[in-house]
Amino acid sequence: MPNIDPQNLPKHVAIIMDGNGRWAKKKVMNRIRGHEEGAGSVRNIVKASREIGIHWLTLYAFSEENWKRPKYEVEALMKLLSRFLKGELDEMLNNGIRFQTIGRIDKLPKYVQDRVQKTVEKTSRNKDMVLTLALSYGSRQEVSDAIQKIAKRVESGDLTSEKITEQIISDSLYTGGMPDPDLLIRTSAEYRLSNFLLWQMAYTEFYFTPTLWPEFRKDEYLEAIEEYQKRERRFGATGEK
Ligand code: IPE
Ligand code: IPE
Ligand code: MG
């Protein structure tokens, strides 16, 4: 692989896949076509991640706030999601990819929940890569849910308030047990987090690109990783070794 150091790969890459609607507009098509083309990029980036050796890939597919979109768009996204999971199952099984989700899955239509659950179960023994889709996900909702979980443990006497640590908070999030993202990619020239993994990204490196998600493919993904490898991550310490 050109210019990629296999010893210094991000362990966890998170992506805000944005710009499907604008891609469609540019092509004078409806937004749904943009989402369909975006699914092609998902396929491409999942495959590339597996080839490069990225262990954790987390994709922001539908935010808690995306429920505000017109009903026909939400319905189209749900259908596309279900179709995608069905279509990609063999690929995941053949490539050792374990599938999981973060977010309020109970808010999704029943047929999508069933498809999600089936995919999680069938891929549960895979060990080479973990593909996480954020669905009906919002970071602030995640933090509220975590606080409720912790408060209940305190109420029940299982925990005292002095014993609440960063580790306990991390473990109580939907991402409990996952490493924090090393690299965040956001496409389509938007420079914000849009309620994605706020706690987890305290020391994540950011890569922003004007490329619209349907046009983001392996070649630029490699560029993003190359750029990541040039960064010096200090975590608050001095740069001296
Ligand atoms: C990202 O593309 C996909 C989702 C949020 C589901 P958008 O649909 O947000 O595309 P733009 O931002 O309108 O171009
Ligand atoms: C963020 O994109 C959510 C996903 C990519 C799923 P949005 O397009 O919803 O974000 P905003 O509204 O521009 O911040
Ligand atoms: Mg958008």
Pocket test for ligand 2, best of 58, 190, 196 (most atoms within 8 A of CB): 190
Task: Round the average pLDDT of the chain to a whole number and report it.
Answer: 97
> Cα(first)–Cα(last) distance of the chain, in Å?
28
R_g of the chain, CA atoms, integer Å: 18
pLDDT tens digits for range 200-217: 999 999 999 999 999 999
Cβ atoms of 222 and 49 within 8 Å: the answer is no
Nearest atom in ligand 2 to the alpha carbon of residue 61 is 6
According to DSSP, residue 216 is labeled -
Query: Whole-angstrom Cα distance, residue 113 to residue 107?
Result: 9
Nearest atom in ligand 2 to the alpha carbon of residue 21 is 8
According to DSSP, residue 101 is labeled E
CATH of domain 12-138+181-229: 3.40.1180.10
Q: Decide: 190 in ligand 2 pocket, CB within 6 A.
A: yes
Cα 128 to middle of ligand 2, angstroms: 29
Q: Which has the closest alpha carbon to 203: 236, 169, 177?
A: 236
**pLDDT tops 70 at residue 2:** no
pLDDT tens digits for range 46-83: 999 999 999 999 999 999 999 999 999 999 999 999 99
Q: What is the DSSP string of 21-73?
A: HHHHHHTT--HHHHHHHHHHHHHHHHHHHHHHT-SEEEEEEEEGGGGGS-HHH
> pLDDT band for position 141 (50/70/90)?
very high
Q: Is the pTM of this model over 0.85?
A: yes
Average pLDDT for residues 110-133, to the nearest whole number?
Answer: 98
pLDDT tens digits for range 161-186: 999 999 999 999 999 999 999 999 99
Q: Decide: 212 in ligand 2 pocket, CB within 6 A.
A: no
The yes-or-no answer on residue 66 being catalytic is: yes
Burial (CB count within 10 angstroms: exposed 0-12, middle 13-18, buried 19+), residue 80: middle
Catalytic residue among 18, 20, 95, 182, which?
A: 18
The yes-or-no answer on residue 44 being catalytic is: no
Q: Which has the closest alpha carbon to 63: 193, 176, 210?
A: 193
Catalytic residue among 30, 44, 66, 195, which?
A: 66
| Residue 94: per-residue pLDDT | 98
- Cross-strand bridge partners of residue 16: 60, 186
Pocket test for ligand 2, best of 15, 66, 135 (most atoms within 8 A of CB): 66
Q: Whose CA is nearest to atom 9 of ligand 2?
A: 66
